[in-house]
Structure formats: structure tokens, C-alpha cells
Amino acid sequence: MSAILPPSESIWWKTPVGKEEIVWIIIALVWCLIMFAMMPIWHIYGKQNLSNEAYKTTPVQYEAKVNAMTKQHTVRTQSVGGVDIPVVAPPAGSDVYMLARLWSWYPMLELKKGETYRLHLSSLDWQHGFSLQPININLQIVPEYEMVTTITPDTTGEFTIVCNEYCGILHHTMIGKIYVTE
Amino acid sequence: MSQYRICPDSGLYFDRAGESLMKANAVAGAVALLVGGILALLVGLTRWPSVHLLGASDFYMVLTAHGINALIFWIIFFEMAILYFASSSLLRCRLATPRWAWLGFLLMIIGAVMTNVAIFQGNSSVMMTSYAPMEAAPHFYLGMILFAVGALIGCFVFLGTLVIAKEEKTYEGSIPLVTFGALTACIIAVFTIASGAIILIPSFLWSVGIIGQIDALMYRVIWWGLGHSSQQINVAAHVSVWYAVAAIAFGAKPMSEKVSRTAFLLYIFFLQLASAHHILADPGVSSTWKIFNTSYAMYLAVLASMIHGLTVPGSIEVAQRKKGLTNGLFEWLRKAPWGNPVFSGVFLSIVTFGFIGGITGVVMGTEQINLIIHNTFYVPGHFHATVVLGTTLTFMALTYFLIPVLFRREMIMPGLAKWQPYLFGGGMTILSLFMMGAGTLGVPRRHWDVGFAQAAEMGLKFEFPGSAEMMLGLVGIGTVLACLGGAIFLLITVGSLLFGKKIEKSAGLLQSFGLPLAASCYTSEKPEPVKGPAADLEEHGSSGFEAPGTFVLALVLLVTFVVYYFINWKYLSSVWPMG
């Protein structure tokens, strides 16, 4: 009489199926197929997608790229705990580099609204989480991997990058900045 | 000593060696739950901004220990008890190699203690995921490895028992559905532990300096073969318990053995690499890989859970209707035994697992939607609904059944036990919903101070909206309620084991399953083989629905699912374009 006894049919595959079960399975399967289809459809028609571009790198190589960009395009500095952090305004459409390390994001960026940039992200040490607030875009930053994603800011103001992958004792102090101007 | 004890209340057979192992594992699980629960309270009170109890380093240490004790040790110890029950008791068979089972148990205890020691020594605050290249002490990994080896031995004891039962013909026909579900859990567990070995053994060797480095992305991909699949063990196990409780409390028969068993098979075939949905926001893995492996083009594992969501309550409805509760769509549900914690715990678990845990899991596992959810507080909100409301609440409900049947004690404070599932389930529901609410506003998980006071001192200011702080406060309140519910659960169970009246003979606590009881409680004779009920095919194929109420509830779930899914796409479309 129950699920804790052997089934009455010794070959369970031959037991009959009730009507609501069949109807429900069909409805649920259709919904599952729709959910699957939404992902490729969004790649075609949607504007927010994940990057498919990434490279193996090393902390030394990556830091060199960040420093090269910073040297060329720094427009001002901002003091953080007595240290001057460069604010970099790279040209629209260019490659923009940002690195994560214990426990800061470097450098700060100044971008133009409506322009598209190729944003590169990597870590010099442990894993970190790029969480752009209050927009709420979240990416995993993995050391030795350089993620490249295009990004088009469509709002202006001051935006904060929170680290949302636990990275040790000062994890909660690790925030960075992106400024978007007209 | 006689080989079997026959429970006079339930008619269940307990192999004496298996019985001791079930007790030992259940008790060890309860101890881990106690530790995990105390730590949960500390975590919850720290993330409540106006309380902010612990300092940063203590918080990260306690959070690491909370995850490992509550998510791994408590649940897997209890699952070992379930495996032994589903094989030896349900098949009326002696447990295979009890000595090996004890060895496994011992390894699990040593492993659990070792990992806890490593964490509380303070050098292994690496969170449950211990993402390389962040390094823990060697005995952190070694403890996890020993625990996993012990659990693997338990899995093989379970499989061996199935072989013996088949060989000695202790049952006729196919194994019961609940045993089938436990077998599903066991097969997934073997795969899971293999993934764990592939990543944890190199991590251990790396921590002692034998291996030079661990690739961080490889670690993530393989670790989640352990981390996510282990949650599928839990799902298979707690769904099996749902079926068992439906059978025990209502005499419910599965609506269709074929559908329920096929759904379990879908778990085995389509869940494993679904760990891909933890890698959705990672570099170095293509969208094609992510989309395919998160769904296998059809989401058949989700389909399986949607099927169980219909068939478990559906079987209860059919059983209740047979008893004459046929008025309207929901009389069967209204007149269910809501004061019986075995039933109420399981039913709350079914509803909250489906509506909260299930729906949000699929939504956040969608490739692009993950962009607005990855690593936010939404993630623990989701898995507290699946693991705690799904698995822990179900195991608690089952424990109320085991106190008289396995431990032969009368439950103390039955009046309090009536309320326990509502308090625990209610607190946990509040916690889950507001964690997800805060996560939607961007609040990160695993974070000591979302007020960013230390960063502000250095000149970097950021504040989440005021509503986020309010939601974090509500998470704190939910934590306190749930911890109170958990404390009451432990008080009742431990109290019953220590001070509950011993049940010598049948106290008439539970209906029997219509099995003939032997005169004596103990026997060494080979039991009669377990037989299935006579086929009664005429129940099926009728033109009407057998469980219309459940079908309506399932449609409500579907509508909620569809609406919530598209709300998230809408939210995604509002963030900065990227690609």
C-alpha cells in the first residue's frame, strides 16, 4: 500500500500513469524547454550577456598592462587612506584594465556615458568578486585568467565595486570606484 | 543476541547491528546540528547591522564552521542513518558488513572533529568552498577527506545490503520506492565523493607543499562537482523521506511507481554536471558550455523535482480522499494532521522547497540572470530554502517518527513539538526571503560589514539603500526564530532519548502497515520476504483526476515560477549593457 513496500507490479516500468501526472509532465516539460530557449534567445536579442573572451595570464603580465594604461590616461588621483590612487579616463572604445588584489581594486576609472569599453579584469592573488553597485552586475575574478567584457555605462554618477567573493580578513574593506560622466 | 527487532508499532524490522549504526549516525548528526545551529545564531547576529555581534576574524571563522557543520556533517551523518534504514529495515535484511560500517562511522567522526579543530585554531577561515589559492591548514583538507572516505564506506555498505537482500530473497519484486530514492542518493554520493577526492586530495598535497600550485578555475569546476552534487544527494534523500512519511502517516501509495521512479532516474542522469551553474559568472568557460551544462537543453532535473512536487502531495490527497475527505478541492488538506510534527514538517518542507528554494534556484542558475545574483546575499537565501527548509526540516520531521520507532522512547513535550516545525520553518522562511531581498539590492554574501565603516575611514564611501539594512534586520529576526525552533527540536529529541519513557511493548503510537507482527519483539528467524500489495489497477485510467486539489496547487506553483522568472529578465534588462 505504500512507498515503503515493493510495488505491486514487479516490473515498475509497467505500472499505469494517472492522468494529472501526464498533463503535469507535459506542461512542466514545455516550461523547461521555454526556459532553455530563453538563454540563447537572450544572446541574440538581449543586451546583457556574459563575456566569452578570456585569456590565461600571470599576475606580472597583467599588472604590467594595468600600469601601462594607468601611466597613459591618469587624469587625477584620489586619496585612499593616505595613498594616492590614480583615476584613469581611457578613450571611448579602448581597452580598460582593472585589477583586484588583497584588498583593493586598482585603478579607479572614469568612463563616459553611452560609450562602450572593453573592460579587462583579473586578480593578482586570490579569487575576488566584482560587484558593481548600485547597478548590481556581478562577475567572478579568478587569478591567472583575464576576463574581457564590453561594458556600456548608461547612467552617470559614482559607482562602487564591492568585493563579493570572500578573500580573507579585510575582505569587507575592499571597495573600488568607477565614475561615469556625460 | 537475536538478529532482528520487530517494532510492534510500525511492524518494521530492525537488524540489530544496523539499528545501532542508525542510532549512532543520527546522534552524531544531531551533535553536528547543535554546533551548526549555535554558529548560525552567531552568524545571524553579526550580519544584523544593529547587533553586529562578532569581530571580523571571528565572524569569518564562525561562518566557515557553520557551513561545514550544518551543511555537510549534520546532513551526511543523518543520511547514513537513512541509507541503513532504507536498505536493512525496509528490505528486512541484515546489514552488510557492520564492522566496515562502524569503521566508516569512526572515520567520519575523526574527520569531522579534525576539520573543526583546524577551523577553530583560526588558520582555516576559508569558507566551506575553500577556494584555491586561498589556503587552509593541511588538517582542514585531511579531515574533509577522512569524512568523505567514511561516507563512501557507508554508501558501499548500503549497496552491499541491497545485494544481500536480492541474493537472500528478502523481498519480492522491485525494491520499494523509498529504497529506490535512497539508491539514487547513494549513486549520486559516490560520484560526488569521487569529485571531492579529485580536488581535495591535491589541495591537501598542495597545503603540505608537495604540489606547487592549484589552478583556481579548475578548482572551482571540480569542487562544485562535489559542492553541488552533494546537494543533490540531499534532494534525493529528502524526497525519499517525503514519500516515506506520506506512506507512514497516511498509508499513501505512490500515484504511479513509474513516474516517481523515472523522476529519480532523471536526477541521476541530469544533475551531475549541473554544478556548471556555479561557474556562470566565471572567465574562461564559454556560454555554450554554460547554457548546455546548466540545463542539458531541457532542464530534466528540474522537471524531476516538479514531478515529485506533484506526486508526493498527490499521493496524500488520493489517500485522504479514499478515507472520505472528498469535499471540494482542499478538504483533504484542511483536515490533514497539522498538529503532528511528522506531517507538518514534511508538508511545510514540500511547499517551501518548491516555492522558495526550487524557483529561485532555477532563476539564478539561468546564464544571464546570474549576472545580477552571483555571490550576492541572494545565494545563501536560496540555499537556506533548499537545504534547510528542504532537507533539515524534513529530517527533523522524520526524527519525530524515529524517537518511538527506532529509539523506543516516548516523546517528551509533545505539545511543544506540535509548534516546532512552524517556528523553525517560519523563521527560516523569513530568513530566506529577506536574504534574497537584500541580495537583489546587491548586498554581498560572506561579508562582515556592509556598512563599509573601515573603508569609509580610508576615504572610500558606499552605502546600500536603507531598505537593505531593514531587510538584514529581518534576516536577523528570522535567524533568531529559526534557532529557537532548532533549539526546541534538539531539546525534545535529546530530552526524549534521555528522559522519555521507555516503550517496552506496543504503545499504539503509530498505525501498523497491515503487516503481521510476530509475538515477540525480537527474532533470529529469517523474516518473511517483504511483499508488495496486490495490484489494484482499476484505480487508474478513470476519466477524472484523482488529485485535483494537488493539481491546482501545482498550477499555482507554475504561475508563480513563470511570473518570477520573467520579472528577473526584466530586472536584468535594466542594468548596463554588456557582453
Can you give the pLDDT of all 182 residues of chain A as single tens digits? 478 999 887 788 888 888 889 999 999 999 999 999 999 999 999 999 988 999 999 999 999 999 999 999 999 999 999 999 999 999 999 999 999 999 999 999 999 999 999 999 999 999 999 999 999 999 999 999 999 999 999 999 999 999 999 999 999 999 999 999 99
Contact B302 A127 (CB under 8 A): no
Region B358-370: what's the mean pLDDT? Answer: 96
Residue B377 reports pLDDT greater than 60: yes
Would an 8 Å CB–CB cutoff place A140 in contact with chain B? Answer: yes
How far apart CA B348 and CA B352 sit, in angstroms, is 6
> CA B99, CA B21: separation in Å to the nearest integer?
10
Q: In chain A, positions 49-108, which contact chain B (CB-CB < 8 Å)?
A: 49-52, 54, 56, 78-81
Mode of pairing for the β-strands spanning A83-88 and A137-141 = unpaired
The Cα-based distances of A61 to A72, A109, B217 in angstroms read: 17, 20, 18
Instruction: State the Cα–Cα distance between residues B84 and B14, nearest whole angstrom.
Output: 10
CATH number for B578? 1.20.210.10
- Is A129 inside any structural domain? yes
Confidence of residue B517 (pLDDT cuts 50, 70, 90): very low
What end-to-end distance do the CA atoms of chain B give, in Å? 69
What pLDDT sits at residue B518?
Answer: 41
CA B132 to chain centroid: 26
Nearest to A3 among B177, B259, B372 (CB): B177
> Which pLDDT value is given to residue B69?
97
Residues of A in contact with B541 (CB under 8 A): 16
Interchain CB distance below 8 Å, A29 and B127: no
Q: Which residues of A touch B445 (CB under 8 A)?
A: 164
A98 or B1, higher pLDDT? A98
B349 domain residue, yes or no = yes
Question: CA nearest A151: which of A107, A101, A113?
Answer: A113
Alpha carbon distance B393, B345 (integer Å): 6
Task: Give the DSSP H or E segment for A60.
Answer: helix A59-73
Kindly compute the dihedral angle of the four CA atoms of residues B109, B112, B118, B119, in this order, to the nearest 10 degrees. -150
Q: For residue B453, what is the nearest residue in chain A, using CA coordinates? A: A173
Q: Which amino acid is at A34?
A: I
Please judge whether B576 and A137 are an interchain contact, meaning their C-beta atoms are less than 8 angstroms apart.
yes
Which one, of B324, B180, B182, B313, lies nearest residue B249 by Cα? B313
Q: Is B169 exposed, middle or buried (0-12, 13-18, 19+ CB in 10 A)?
A: exposed
Q: What letter represents residue A59's amino acid?
A: P
Q: Say which residues have a Cβ less than 8 Å from residue B449's Cβ, sequence separation at least 6.
A: A172, B52, B56
- A165: domain CATH number? 2.60.40.420
Secondary structure of B2-52 in HEC code, one letter for each residue: CCEEECCCCCCEEEHHHHHHHHHHHHHHHHHHHHHHHHHHHHHHHHCCCCC
The predicted model gives B479-494 an average pLDDT of 97
pLDDT at B542: 45
Q: What is the C-alpha radius of gyration for chain A, rounded to an integer number of angstroms?
A: 24
Distance, first Cα to last Cα, chain A:
72
Asked if the Cβ–Cβ distance from B575 to A151 is below 8 Å, we say no
Interatomic CA distance for residues B192 and B272, integer angstroms = 8
In this structure, how many other beta carbons lie within 10 angstroms of the beta carbon of residue B151? 27
* A117-126, B181-190, B273-282: range with lowest mean pLDDT: B273-282
Burial class of residue B533, CB neighbours in 10 A (0-12, 13-18, 19+): middle
Q: pLDDT band for position B274 (50/70/90)?
A: low
User: d(Cα B413, Cα B497) in Å, to the nearest integer?
Assistant: 12
Query: Which residue does chain A place closest to B446, by CA atoms?
Result: A166
The answer, yes or no, to whether residue B355 has pLDDT greater than 70, is yes
CA atoms of B366 and B352, how far apart (whole Å): 21
Residue B506 has a pLDDT of 54
Model confidence pLDDT, tens digit, residues B129-179: 999 999 999 999 999 999 999 999 999 999 999 999 999 999 998 999 999
The residue count of chain B comes to 579
Domain contains B488: yes
Which one of A44, A50, A123 would you mutate to disrupt binding with B, by most B Cβ within 10 Å of its Cβ? Answer: A50
Residues B351 and B389: beta-carbon distance below 8 Å:
no
Provide the domain count of chain B: 1
Mean pLDDT of chain B: 92
Tens-place pLDDT, residues B30-40? 999 999 999 99
Burial of B558 from C-beta contacts in 10 A (0-12 / 13-18 / 19+): middle
Q: Is the pLDDT of residue B248 over 50?
A: yes
Flag whether pLDDT at B3 surpasses 90.
no
CB neighbour burial string for B388-409, b if at least 16 within 10 angstroms, e if fewer: bbbbbbbbbbbbbbbbbbbbbb
Q: At what angle do helices B414-440 and B466-499 cross, to 10 degrees?
A: 160
Domain contains B353:
yes
Strand order in the sheet with B13-15: B13-15, B4-6, B522-523
Q: Which residues contact B20 (CB under 8 A, 6 or more apart)?
A: none
Asked whether residue B386 carries a pLDDT value surpassing 60, the answer given is: yes
SS3 string, B55-67, reads CHHHHHHHHHHHH
CB contact under 8 A, A36 and B551: no
Q: What percent of chain B has pLDDT over 70?
A: 94
CA triple B415-B420-B425, angle to 5 deg: 155
Which range, of B216-230, B273-287, B466-480, averages the lowest pLDDT? Answer: B273-287
> What is the spatial distance between Cα B187 and Cα B265, in angstroms, rounded to a whole number?
10
| Cβ A106 vs Cβ A98: under 8 Å | yes
Question: Which pLDDT value is given to residue B534?
Answer: 67
| Phi, psi (degrees; rounded to nearest 5) at A153 | -65, 130
- CB atoms B176 and A5 under 8 Å: yes
Q: What's the confidence (pLDDT) of residue B473? A: 97
CA-closest candidate to residue B273, choices B359, B192, B197: B192
Which residue, B345, B145, B383, B333, is CA-closest to B244? Answer: B345
**Could you please report the per-residue DSSP string of B524-571?**
-SPPPPB-PPPP-GGGTT-SS-S-HHHHHHHHHHHHHHHHHHHHHHHH
Q: In angstroms, how far is CA A30 from the centroid of its own chain?
A: 30
pLDDT at B515 over 60: no
ipTM for the predicted complex: 0.96
Domain, as residue range, for A86: 53-181
Backbone angles phi, psi at B554, to 5 degrees: -65, -40
Whether residue A175 is contained in a domain is answered as yes
User: What's the CA gap between B221 and B275, in Å, rounded?
Assistant: 8
| Chain A CB contacts of B183 below 8 Å | none
State which residue of chain A sits closest to B296, comparing Cα positions.
Answer: A36
| Residue contact B573–A48, C-beta within 8 A | yes
* Binary contact (A47, B310; C-beta < 8 A): no
Quick check: A121 and A142 in contact, CB under 8 A? no
Is residue B181 in some structural domain? no
What strands, in cross-sheet order, belong to the sheet with A95-101? A53-56, A145-151, A117-123, A95-101, A104-106
Range of the domain at B383: 337-505+546-579
pLDDT interval class at B522 (50, 70, 90) = confident
* Cβ neighbours of B99 (radius 10 Å): 9
Instruction: Return the pLDDT at A51.
Output: 85
CA A133 to CA A47: how far, in whole Å? 19
Q: What is the pLDDT of residue B532?
A: 78
Q: Are B378 and B399 in contact (CB under 8 A)?
A: no
Report helix, strand or coil for A138: strand
Split into its structural domains, chain A has a count of 1
Question: Exposure of B560 by Cβ count < 10 A (0-12 exposed, 13-18 middle, 19+ buried)?
Answer: middle
B551–A20: do the CB atoms touch at under 8 Å?
yes
Residue A41 lies in a domain: no
Q: Are strands B4-6 and B13-15 parallel, antiparallel or unpaired?
A: antiparallel
The residues pairing with B15 across neighbouring beta strands, listed in sequence order, are: B4
pLDDT of B96 reads 96
Q: What is the pLDDT of residues B525-550, one digit of tens each?
A: 778 888 877 665 445 444 468 899 99
Taking contacts as CB-CB distances below 8 angstroms, the residues of chain A near B223 are: none
Q: Is residue B572 part of a domain?
A: yes
Residue for cell digits 571571528? B58
